[in-house]
A and B are shown apart, each in its own frame.
Chain A
Amino acid sequence: MKRYIASRLLYSILILFFVSILIFTLARLMPGDPIQAAAMINTDLANPEIMNDLRAKFGLDKPYHEQYFLWLTDFAKGEWGDSLGSGEEVLAMFLRRLPVTLELFIGATFWSFIIGFPFGIIAALRRNSWLDASLTTTSIIGVSIPVFWEGIVFIYLFAVILPIFPPSGYVPFSESPWENLLSVAMPTFVMGTQTAGLLARYVRSSLLEVLGQDFIRTARAKGLREKAMLIRHAARPALLPVVTVIGLSWGYMVAGSFLVEYMFAIPGLGRMGVNAVFARDFPVIQATLVIVALNVMLANLTVDLVYGYLDPRVRIH
């Protein structure tokens, strides 16, 4: 297991290295240079002197390879630069918004689990019944419904027609736990819908496949009752492909959080990223890209480790 973990970590670091080069290059591909691009939107900066100061500050006047290593070491030290718009430190902005987005992620994962797993399991156990058909149809709708459309419908239904939830905004948990939950209920549900549908589909097919395997018949032949057989023999192998899907959707959820935070006016990382793109605030854009990449990498690493834990064929040779 130790060797397996070490190899996975090494792999992640390697990927991160390539991604960092990619992100660095992307930021330099903006028309003119990042400062000029920002100045086209933010007229406060449209002054050659200020622009040159900024270029020097971000090291944009140095050769590319020097710029890259400067950026990398600064980033690792936590010196992520200042926002071109507000002048605030990017790291501080990030840390302030991180808990908000994390709450959305946890909430969305919660919804997708409590819907996806039961749907998938029941559909598999009642295969080809009307219940299976309706659960599967619901899951497909969940997968294919566009996030923004679902968001608008939910706001209309549950904030306008039936005013249960606030239509937008965010209340921190520390301020009022109850209002916090009310404010994130709809956004997290909308964010988790796709994953829920995806999970239901994968849990169903994975469980069905496992139930058709020879070792399930062996388990039954030993005298295990149906429930014990499912828990002891079917659950773990059926979970393997599902873990991969959960990891993938953690990566995708970033896209969901961008949309959802924008729609519901939630001050999280997604909103920060979107605003930065509109303002061409390149230090913030760069940081956002790195965070997105880190999130994907972390999700993949977690998947690999959980997979190794669940499947002895992966960790023991």
Chain B
Amino acid sequence: MSKLLEVKNLSTHFFTDDGLVKAVDNISYSLNEGETLGLVGESGCGKSVNALSLLRLIPNPPGKIVSGKVIFEDQNLLTLSEDDICRIRGNRMAMIFQEPMTSLNPVMTIGRQLMEPMEIHRQMTRGEIQERCLDLLKRVHIPEAPTRMNAYPHQFSGGMLQRAMIAMGLTCNPRLVIADEPTTALDVTIQAQLLELMKDLTREFGTALIIITHNLGIVARYADRVNVMYAGRIVEKSTAMDLYKNPRHPYTIGLMASVPRLDQDMKKKLKPIEGQPPDLIHLPSGCSFHPRCSYRVERCLNETPELKTVNENHEIACWVDVRT
């Protein structure tokens, strides 16, 4: 498999009135063609900022990508001209956003919004574009697609809007789709349907996928590999299989205990991680997780651990070995 995306030492900071927010702090990872990567972590740990940085969609001010490289299809997206990055957006790399209700234009028909990426990136006639959109709407199981094209977002349910968003992300047959918590706003049965749908479609088109979620259960089921983020950094990086069997970072272990697992006794009590996610402006010294960590040692208070390989396909940023 060839490498599709390589993120190197990416840092994105927000210069707010209250202080500097290192929302993404020196993270590196890569993704192969057709692969699915899960990005996990509690709310506010920098998952969305990470995703938005790839396409340079960080609002500036207050945000800025301060360093790093995003190598996608052999070019560094961070040094492209504005025109060239626009040619990538929605075309080679597409994004599906968190809130379907607010992420679609309320005064524009679904059809026009759906057709837009192809109008921008493809030299196709209106008829051809329309045909492909209708086909995609059917693929995401939207009934009566032709009439739905002329409807406005407020006439759709949340689940249908998210289906339309998924279709919109796939119109130009991108090489990478980033789905930022695509199902959080929806109820559980619809969540599962949509994730299956997304997985099927990306597999069929050979599209790589980054699924952002705070739910480890989703990741275990749909992702090939996983990055666990905490306070702007990646603290554990592994194949999904290995992570699920042998979580090595205390934070990941905590996350696992806090979500229901299919392979465990349903009656087992869920245990949320104690304490609050840190305020990114006033980060704890050393390892940012140490105030909430039950494994902490002296060293955790003073030194920040870097990612280190523990076995093939598994890296953690932690001073202790939780297995001993």
Contact = CB atoms under 8 A, between A and B. Distances in A.
Interface in A188-230: 213-215, 217-226, 228
A236 B89 contact: no
A313 B106 CA distance: 8
A316 B154 CA distance: 9
A15 to B, nearest CB: 28
Contact of B154 (A217, A228, A233, A312): A312
B265 interface: no
Interface string B135-178: 00000000000000000101100000000000010000000000
A175 B180 CA distance: 67
A222 B103 contact: no
Contacts of A220: 57, 89
Given A225-B83, A316-B152, A217 B89 contact: no
Given A214-B103, A215-B102, A222 B117 contact: yes
Nearest to B112: A232
A277 interface: no
Given A214-B103, A215-B103, A233 B108 contact: yes
Give the interface size bracket for A toward B: 20 to 34
B154 A221 contact: no
B87 interface: yes
B139 to A, nearest CB: 19
Nearest to B107: A236
Interface string B283-312: 000000000000000000000000000000
Given A218-B104, A237-B106, A312-B154, A224 B57 contact: no
Contacts of A226: 82
Interface of B: 52, 55, 57, 82-83, 86-91, 94-95, 97, 99, 102-108, 116-117, 120-121, 152, 154-155, 168
Given A214-B103, A232-B108, A316-B155, 13 more contacts: A213-B102, A217-B97, A218-B95, A218-B103, A218-B104, A221-B90, A223-B86, A224-B86, A226-B82, A233-B108, A311-B106, A312-B107, A312-B152
